[in-house]
Structure 1
């Protein structure tokens, strides 16, 4: 907003009117002076201290190995397809649920690995990990 001094219509007055700005700043200052003591007013409460530690139970894991001929072992014990379904269901019922570590020979047909994964999913196991041996890849 520009003001024209009387008698001079050509020149524009380029001064800023500071009065509204100072009024706004004073109002904000008063608001802050009133609200700061309200914010800092706190009630002290003595809460009991707990000394319990959280127990992190790591789930067990099950090693399932598949040989090149399709034979399976469950934690080192020989296993058939029918027994696999029962063992997967038993493992899925445990709390916390164990992880299935699947170790397959490099010459194992993918179809057999897929069948084992499908049986684990159908049985209710949620975590399947693949174990590889870098020394066998050479």
Structure 2
């Protein structure tokens, strides 16, 4: 009965496994070094801070979505507005709220820029500070309309 300890063919093969033991050793040493040096690096003055109860004084307002379709009709949170005067009055009423909500504009891709431009001008006239545009992400269809 013979035992094959090694052959000449086995010495020529490349070992494809990665030995991760040295990597784990280095990571543990670095972890210990960081745990020791962080308290030394963070130095603060010894002060006793006052105690206070913190309650939220200001609630975040809901965003208002204004949609503009291809025909130039305006929609305030999905309800159609009869004309631009009503839109301006609603914007003025919202502008005085504290904190002021953000206006999010959803413009149809076929809508003329004139409709969106007048909406932005109305927001500016009413005193709205935050106006954002909602778009759909491009899912790899660049250049197609």
Q: TM-score range by the shorter chain?
A: 0.5 to 0.7
SS in structure 1 at match of 2:65: strand
Q: TM-score, normalised by structure 2?
A: 0.58
In the alignment, structure 1 residue 77 sits paired with structure 2 residue 79: yes
Partner of 2:117: 114
Preserved CA contact (<8 Å) 2:58 2:99: no
Distance 1:127 1:92 in 2: 10
In structure 2, list runs of 5 or more residues that go unmatched.
Answer: 1-45
RMSD between superposed Cα atoms in Å: 2.5
In structure 1, list runs of 5 or more residues that go unmatched.
Answer: 1-43
Total equivalences in the alignment: 95
Partner of 1:51: 53
- CA apart distance, 1:50: 1.5
Distance 2:85 2:114 in 1: 17
**Larger of the two Rg values belongs to structure:** 1
SS in structure 2 at match of 1:73: strand
SS in structure 1 at match of 2:66: strand
- CA apart distance, 1:48: 4.7
The alpha-carbon distance between structure 1 residues 51 and 83, as it changes in their structure 2 partners (threshold 3 A), is: same
- CA apart distance, 1:104: 0.3
